[in-house]
Amino acid sequence: MLKDRLVEAGAIKFGDFVLTSGKKSNYYVDIKDAATDPATLEEIASELASKVSAQKIAGMELGAVPITVATAVMMKIPYLVLRKERSHGTKKLIIGHLREGEEIELIEDVVTTGGSLLKAAQLIRDNGGVVKRAIVVVDREEGGKEMLKENGIELVSVVKISDVKGK
């Protein structure tokens, strides 16, 4: 099972951690590092692909890019990369082709509050796309699902942290 592989790969660590938000946690989820192993990345992509129903997916830089690309290649569908800021090159926030009215499903490595996914959805919506679903490898179950639902987005998770922690 993917949850076991993630623990074995060190993607879910237990101990004392300070999160980006400054909040303290007794576990840490790091899919980015685990996704550098081809077998783990393939299993993540396979699990994500089994949940995707749209014909195009999108992932926000940095964490979601490898898993979005692997999933898109596995499914043979196009994808978008969403940038956080217009920092260089063409300064486009969306890499790839988004057509007016096109349905896009978001891919993410970890969701906590859902803020990053909501930003990604808004970027796609502001550019004419439709976002109704987001698929995440690990849901930390800290309000993201509910917040996204309030904004018209269904959150689908491969692994819930309660499945790993045995809540």
In a domain, 10, yes or no: no
In a domain, 6, yes or no: no
- Predicted confidence at residue 166, as pLDDT, reads 62
Rounded CA-CA distance 58/145 in Å is 18
HEC assignment per residue over 126-149: HCCCEEEEEEEEEECCCCHHHHHH
CATH code for the domain in which residue 110 is found: 3.40.50.2020
In a domain, 159, yes or no: yes
- Predicted confidence at residue 19, as pLDDT, reads 76
Mind listing the pLDDT tens digit of every residue in the chain (167 residues)?
A: 899 999 888 899 889 998 766 778 899 999 999 999 999 999 999 999 999 999 999 999 988 999 999 999 999 999 999 998 876 666 789 999 999 999 999 999 999 999 999 999 999 999 999 999 999 999 999 999 999 999 999 999 999 999 987 64
Could you list the residue range(s) of the whole structural domain that residue 105 is in? Answer: 31-165
In the chain, the number of structural domains is 1
In a domain, 111, yes or no: yes
- Predicted confidence at residue 51, as pLDDT, reads 98
- Predicted confidence at residue 18, as pLDDT, reads 86
